[in-house]
Structure 1
Amino acid sequence: MSPAHSKSESVAEALDAVDRGVEPARTVLRDAVRALLTELSARAPGRSVEVRIPPFGAIQCVAGPRHTRGTPPNVVETDPMTWLLVATGRLPWDDAVRDGRLRASGVRTDLTDYLPLLG
């Protein structure tokens, strides 16, 4: 099995755990988060938005002005489970923002044009 295939399998495995009402294993959730971040960076190449999913990963994506120093002006941050749900279309972006589960600051941080990342 190729590494890329394993990572996409992690997303399916994490979603299966969610569907069964259990927390995905930490390593499965980590690999799923990283796979989804990799897919986002492929769909939205660039360096104007920083997407942070602590403690598992962070990327820069979306075309536009590149940030080089200090705190980036466009930041998206959430927890791993919320990212899994938002990135796969199980939780709408607007609901996650409204409920405070996802923080998006900056004019370029609305990622809904790139979501969901599967299918």
Structure 2
Amino acid sequence: MKVMIAVDGDMVCPHFGHSPEFRLVEIDGNRVVKKEIYTNPGHAPGVLPRWMKDLNVDIVIAGDMGPRARDLFASFGITVQTCDPMNVDSALEAFMKGELFGSSNSCHHGEGGDNGSCSQ
């Protein structure tokens, strides 16, 4: 299974599309067999879901993301898992134990005069 985690430093990024990097983790059973870091190739509509599909990603973990990205991932058969802000390794461990739960973040692009980010 391939899991792509939106990261900002050593934390899960609160907004998927604005993540500076992504950590691709390959899991076999209960163990991590490979880790790779990728720079965000660009935050434009549809770019990241297609890119991750080409990498054969099964699961995406992020603080949150907008509905269009969620729909695109679903159309590619990629599951989205959100979580509250936490350390990347802690999020991965919780995911592997089935204990990673959805975020209370909420993406509302353009509302209230914001610049489209979903930072907390």
| TM-score between both structures, scaled by the size of structure 2 | 0.29
Structure richer in helix, relative to its length:
1
| Structure having greater relative contact order (Cα 8 Å, sep ≥ 6) | 2
